[in-house]
Structure 1
Amino acid sequence: MEKLTEQYLARLDKMKEENLAVAGEFLVMAATLLYLKSRTLLPVQDRPPEEVEEEDPKWELIRQLIEYRKFKDAAGQLGDREALHSKIFGRTPERVAAPPGMMGPGNVSMFDLVWAFQKVLRGVEERARAGRFVEEEFTVGQKIEFLLDRVPIGEEVPFEDLFRTMSSRGEVVVTFLALLELIRLRQLMARQEGPLKPIFIQRAPEGGWPAPVLDEGEQGDETGQPAGESPA
């Protein structure tokens, strides 16, 4: 015990200019060692009665040393991990373009069209709850004729206006399917100025827009405009 105490005191002499918190821990440990040394020098019969039955403080010191070692090892592992991660540089994620199949003619994605469709559908359901309407049956062919009638050649109509007079969920769904078919056939085009902006449906000129000619490996027209037209 005496040798261990002397080693701690020697260590404290070398830590005068080091971190105060670390030095404080060593001071506490040194004080504990000095206390234990003084107790070993004191005969058992001269010790206070309450200390005779006490657990040997050496075991408390041993437990403290074990805990200190655990924290020291954990701190070392964290330091090693920090050093390792400091050498790793993440790559800036690239902007992922929507697959060509998800884009309709024009600069409106399929996701934008579906979002606008859901908005229209909610409005129709609210109108249906407010009154009584007779559910009618419609076909995609009927609604294709309706849309070609509703959107004049060379002109455009707001997307929501195409559904404004409809009062049933079924009619809205069939009309939307007809719209997608006309976009696929390049008879109509969906146009949008930017994300979450209003969508406009434009009618193709006589004969429709010609199919775009793609170079080998090309994924689509970067301007999002129908072939044969220049961006506005």
Structure 2
Amino acid sequence: MSFTVAVDQFEGPLDLMLHLIKEKELDLFDLDIHVLTEQYLLYLNKMEEMHLEVCSEYLVELATLIEYKSKKLLPKQEAELNDAYEEDPKDRLVRRLLEYQQFKEISEQLKQLYLDRQRQITKPISIESEEWIKANENQPVQGSPYELAKAMTKCLRRMQLLRPIETKYTAKEISVEDRILQITARLADLPETFSFERLLEDCHEIHETIVTFLAILDMAHTHQLYFTVDDADTIWFRRGA
């Protein structure tokens, strides 16, 4: 059987698992862990054969898969006793896969919304903004819109690890313009430099997070906010003109 290993194809072990589930047409809600483990191990073995470094996070997930398989070999009574005290590893894995799949879908939505919004923004840079840039030329340079979108995706991934992103929507969804007004009102209470996560403190739903992203795109374009992205892909903002 031919097996192609693309090193940069996957963003992590959960991304690889979702790919294998789709490729082998497995049912995510009735997951065959045995087949998934075999395919996952095959992929890692191929990486080693090609002398490619296998990241520790992939090995950790492999251990999780093997743990589930080993528990299925326990006597029924002992397995039931263990299940009474802890979450089923299979259920835990399926839940994490569903959350990660949801995160990927949100990321794709953000990328498309970013492109759509960029085509709509046409306001030119003001003279005041140019003067502000000259006065602060020794400060960290303004990041590119691409860096902003990329860093925000990673920010959402960090948030996803801390708490699942809810998929519900409010009955009355806030507009980008209203969100800009909200952020503008908050600027006086924020420090001179603040992170993107600070702007998301009042976001509890997907729609609010996406609208916040679109709002800061507009504000960055009109230089109401200036941003830079550090080596850890954290987005930092400063008030602009």
TM-score bracket for the superposition, by shorter chain length:
0.3 to 0.5
Q: Give the number of the structure whose alpha-carbon radius of gyration is greater.
A: 1
With the length of structure 1 as denominator, give the TM-score of the two structures. Answer: 0.36
With the length of structure 2 as denominator, give the TM-score of the two structures. Answer: 0.35
